[in-house]
Structure 1
Amino acid sequence: MIRVGVVGASGWADSSHLPALTALEQFDVTAVATTNQASADRAAAAHGARYALADWRELASHPEVDLVVVSVKASGHAAVIKAALAAGKHVVSEWPLGIDVNEAAELTEAAIAAGAVHAVVLQGHHSPSAHFVADLLADGRIGALESVTLVAEGTPFGGSRISPDLVFSLDPSEGTNILTVMAGHFLSALERIAGRLTEVSARLPRTHDHVLVAGTEQTVPNATPSHVLLHGQLANGATASVAVHGGNGPARDGFVLRLIGSDTTLTATPAQPGTFIHWGEWDIRIDEETLPVPDAYRTVPASVRSGPPANIAALYREVAQAITEARQPHPSFETALRHHRVLAAIEQSAADGIARSIS
């Protein structure tokens, strides 16, 4: 049994990580930490944790924790990860790993030096739908892949207003915006299916220099992109065209993914409109034929509810197996570092108008 401590248990983790972990027999949620004792107590009671802590440092070094889950703001990842590694813990970090590629490189180096198992939550890698579509491509169902197009909604980022709890994301130094979070996840899922991007030419338009704080009459400055537009080349020679458009939300269409092959075209859209590409099930079609995802691609218990917990639970199963086999899981911090390099190339291309290669 792997004993888990979750830092940031009252936010995103409450509806994703914790339901996933408590549904898996390999894990025991031992401790939770939040910013105050009352919310920590609530999280512990809701998910059966023995220890409710208001200090993440105490959790990171707790003797009854084997694996630390880092689910706080991206700007807070480095401190928690370093403390957990120093205490000899394994680590699962939310995406993005760090606020930029340099911090991601530092954290990856630290995790390797510590000899810990390290994973990042790019859950599109564990999407049954993405796995199935990747296999369809590998089996030649559409012929040779020639082009990929993805149009996706990036809300709640990039619009003319922002919720009060996301005002921090308007500062690029926080590492949380439409490029890093939304496009980051979407591109990770795309690469899981179609292969790695090797070159990008990009634009990052900023439509709104100031945005309204929802529910108030206050406007605040914005220094982050409103949209992500890129053309790219994949390692297999196919081209990629991606548009992630921001807005005020809620998301309505979610995404449209088209894989154009030498013989025919595969189209994927959300099974539930408005869900993101890395979260839920997809409707998959080749021409007019609908292709349901076979049950064999679903690797988590039926008790795990659909949506984010399902793909995150699949990641945790991979982490448990990696710990048992003394290897690194996928995606690891090294995967995350390479993906940070993709985003850095997009930023560089948008800044100087020059296409950038990605190693």
Structure 2
Amino acid sequence: MIRVGVVGAGGWADGSHLPALAALEAFEVTAVATTKQAGADRAAAAHGVRHAFADAGELARHPEVDLVVVSVKASGHAAVIRAALDAGKHVVSEWPLGVDADEAGELTEAATAAGVVHAVVLQGHHAPSARFAADLLADGRIGTLESVALVAEGAPWGGSRIRPELVFGLDPAEGTDILTIMAGHFLATLERVAGPMAEVSARLPRTHDRVLVTGTERTVPNATPSHVLLHGLLASGATASVAVHGGHGPIQDAFLLKLVGSDGTLTATPVQRGTFIHWGDWDVRIGDDVLTMPDSYRTVPAGVRSGPPANIAALYQEVARAIAEGRQPQPSFETALRHHRLLAAVERSAADGTTQKIA
């Protein structure tokens, strides 16, 4: 049994990590932490957890914690990860790993030196539909891949309005915006299907210098992009075109992914309208033929096969295997670092108008 401590249990983790872990027999959540003791106590009571902390370091040092889950704001990831590494604990961190590629590099180096298992939550890596589509390409169902196009909605980031709890993300130093969160997850999913990007040429338009805080008459300054536009080449030589357009929601069509091969074209759209590419099931077609994904691609218990817990549960299954086998899971901190470098290349290209190689 892998004993888990969840830092940030009162936020995103409440509807994603905690249900996912509760559904898996290999894990037991033994501790939770939030910024205030009262909130930690409520989270512990709601999920039947016996230890509650207002200090992430105290949770990480507890002898009944083997693995620390980091589910706080991106700007707070580094401190919690370092506390876990100092305590010799395995770590699962939400994406993004750090606020930028430099911080991600430092954390990856520290995790490697600590000799623990480390993973990052890029849900698209374990999404059943993404794995199914990747296998169709690998099996040659559309011939040689020639081009990839992805159009996706990036709300709740990039619009003229923003929810009060997301205002912090309008500061680039927080590492939480349409490029890092939305395009970050979307590009990771695209790469899971079609292979890694090798070079990019990008633009990051900022449509709104100030945005309205929803439910108020207050506007706040915005220094983050409204849209993410890029063209590039995959390592395979296929071209790639990605447009992530911002807004304030609600999500409508969510995404359209098109993979054009020498012998056919694969398209993917969400089965459930308004579902992000890295969360839900896809309607996959080659030409006019609708393809049914085999049940073997679904590995998590039936109770967590929809919404955010589904692919997070699949990641935890991979983490459990990695711990048992003495190896690093996929995606690991190394995977996250390479993905941070992709986003850094997008930013450099947008800033100076050059084509950037992906390190």
**TM-score of the superposed pair, with normalisation by structure 2:** 0.99
Quick check: 2:6–2:69 contact (8 Å CA) kept in 1?
yes
- More displaced 10-residue stretch of structure 1: 122-131 or 41-50: 41-50
Residue 350 (structure 2) aligns with = 350
Deviation for aligned residue 1:307: 1.3
Cα distance, 1:151 vs structure 2: 0.2
State the partner residue of 1:143.
143
Letter in 2 for 1:155: A
- Counterparts of 1:57 and 1:358, CA distance in 2: 35
Tell me the CA shift for residue 227 of structure 1. 0.2
1:256 aligns to what SS in structure 2?
strand
Alignment partner, residue 86 of structure 1: 86
Deviations 1:87-120 (Å, cap 9, x if unpaired)?
0100000000000000000000000000010000
* Correspondence for 2:266: 266
Q: Which residue of 1 aligns with 2:6?
A: 6
Task: Tell me which residue corresponds to 1:340.
Answer: 340
Bigger drift between 190-199 and 34-43 goes to: 34-43
Q: Call closer, same or farther: CA 1:83–1:2 in 2, change over 3 Å.
A: same
| Contact in 1 for aligned 2:206/2:225 (Cα 8 Å) | yes
CA distance in 2, matches of 1:285, 1:47: 40
Unaligned runs of at least 5 residues, structure 2: none
1:56 CA drift (Å) = 1.5
Q: Give, in whole Å, the separation in 2 of the partners of 1:54 and 1:102.
A: 28
**Alpha-carbon distance in structure 2 between the residues aligned to 1:267 and 1:305:** 23
Distance in 2 separating the partners of 1:180 and 1:143: 32
SS at match of 1:303: helix
3-state SS of 2:304 partner: coil
Q: Distance in 2 between matches of 1:129 and 1:135?
A: 10
Cα offsets for 1:239-284 (capped at 9, x unmatched): 0000000001011111000001111111000110111000011111
Kindly indicate whether residue 102 of structure 2 is the aligned counterpart of residue 69 of structure 1.
no
After superposition, where does 1:34-53 map in structure 2 within 5 Å?
A: 34-53=34-53
Q: Please report how far the alpha carbon of residue 303 of structure 1 lies from its aligned counterpart in structure 2 after TM superposition.
A: 2.2
The TM-score with structure 1 as length reference comes to 0.99
Corresponding residue number in structure 2 for 1:228: 228
Indicate whether 1:300 and 2:276 are aligned: no
How many pairs align?
359
Tell me whether 1:217 sits opposite 2:217 in the alignment.
yes
Matches within 5 A, 1:171-250: 171-250=171-250
- Mapped to 2, the partners of 1:111 and 1:251 lie a distance apart of 36
- Tell me the distance in 2 between the aligned counterparts of 1:220 and 1:57: 34
Q: Find out whether 1:162 has 2:162 as its counterpart.
A: yes
Q: Is the CA contact 2:172–2:223 (under 8 Å) kept in the aligned structure 1?
A: yes
Shift of 1:52: 1.6
Q: Cα deviations across residues 304-352 of structure 1 (Å, max 9, x unaligned)?
A: 2411111000000000010011100000000000000000000000000
Deviation at 1:55, TM superposition (A): 1.6
CA RMSD, Structure 1 to Structure 2 (Å) = 0.7
CA contact (8 A) 2:143 2:261 kept: yes
- 8 Å contact 2:56–2:83 — kept in the other structure? no
Give distance in 2, aligned partners of 1:281 and 1:153.
16
CA distance in 2, matches of 1:252, 1:174: 27
Distance in 2 of aligned mates of 1:60 and 1:75: 18
Shift of residue 45 of structure 1? 1.8
Equivalent position of 1:316 in the other structure: 316
Matched to 2:77, the amino acid is: H
- Residue type of the alignment partner of 2:233: Q
Alignment of 1:110-125 (within 5 A): 110-125=110-125
CA distance in 1, matches of 2:293, 2:252: 23
The secondary structure found in structure 2 opposite 1:342 is: helix
Deviation at 1:46, TM superposition (A): 2.0
Structure 2 contact 148–259 (Cα < 8 Å) conserved:
yes
Report how far residue 44 of structure 1 moved: 1.1
Whole-angstrom distance in 1 between the partners of 2:292 and 2:92: 31
